[in-house]
Amino acid sequence: MDYVDGTFTYESGTVAAADFPQTEEPVYILGKVYSALHDREELRHDFVSRLWMTYRRNFPAIGGTGPSGDTGWGCMLRCGQMMLAQTLLVHHCGRDWRWLDDGQRDKLYWKVLSLFQDKKSANFSIQQIASMGVSEGKAVGQWFGPNTVAQVLKKLAVYDEWSNLVIHVAMDNTVIENDIRGLCMGSTDSCDIMGCQNVKGAEGGPSQTNHRLKGKSGGSWKPLLLVIPLRLGLTDINSVYIDSLKRCFTFKQSVGIIGGRPNHAHWFVGFLGDKLVFLDPHTTQGMTDLDDPTSNDQSYHCQYPSLMKVTELDPSIAVGFYCRNEDDFTDFCCQARKHITDAKKTPMFEMFQDRPSHWPPYEPYTGLTPSTTGFTEVGSQDDSDEEFELVG
């Protein structure tokens, strides 16, 4: 798909719509339900308010000598950005926040958006994600899978002191409740170790109270992005998982699903009937310098939904859920047990309250590495002299 002067040209194989189809079936978008007949404007506004990360060209070269564009290899990295951007939008602005194309700069929203601009200094830039991918065995310019991008974002999130978010990647199709509670409330808190400054945030809206919300046990709770990488079949998605997969979009904690077709990633935000609604990163746009006061953010919002049949989905995906506080996480666990793990003969993933005794101890990622300062900040890494090979 390419973008020229406001016109979209879609690649063959992608089922795209200029608008949501007129249907009596409900449309679910990231925990919200709409009527495509009666709630069309609200539905459109919700969709266009999601942050759309696409291929970009002419950004500062990765590592100084690496690629200055990510066309052909960065689609899963962009999808990971979109899932995390949705998490941070809800975290800082609330799920009911909506984008207004009026030239005014909403400070909280703009600060979230700036975390993803194509500069090394931005916490979740393409430069940072691609460079951190080397630690996961991926050369810069090599295509990521859903698990790889989740692992990379987990590492980068440690250095976003403003959001104070923790990312847990549940491996082996298994969610261990008490591992996550310990991560969000326990003494392994990396910001406790590093002395991070806490900032303000509030339930459902703009910043008002401390992000480290009190848990029921009396400790503080760090907001959570839970990512569950899954393989739901061998070469095609197994039909026994389809109902559960669609059910995930009905959870209020949903921040979507990253996946797509082989080597062709999308960020899925909802469904209607047997079709998934997604944002497609396969549009090449020029780099936008968000630090320029004359810049605008229109290229980060897609006017038109893309649709595909759920049966066309590649079986390798990652499902995301954002839990602002302990009550959110408890509610997620209840809903997941009710609709996914306990309701199906072949559940999409499993849940245990405690870690199986034969498993190794859980060791959360803290970001601490041996150095003269005790840890290495992402923003201070010197990668200017490294050379990278562009793969495929």
Q: List active site positions.
A: 75, 280, 282
Tokens found for residue 251 = 């959870």
Tokens found for residue 313 = 């989905």
For the chain, the first-to-last Cα distance in angstroms comes to 18
Are 250 and 33 in contact by the 8 Å Cβ rule? The answer is yes
DSSP state string for 28-79: EETTEEEETTT-HHHHHHHHHHS----EEESPPPGGGTS-SB-TTT-HHHHH
187-208 as b/e, with b when 16 or more CB fall inside 10 Å? ebbbbeebebeeeebeeeeeee
310-326 as b/e, with b when 16 or more CB fall inside 10 Å? beebbebbbbbbbbbbb
CA distance 336 to 347: 10
- DSSP 8-state code for residue 311: G
C-beta neighbour count of 336 within 10 angstroms:
26
CA distance 162 to 201: 10
Name residue, tokens 């250095």: 159
Amino acid at 99: W
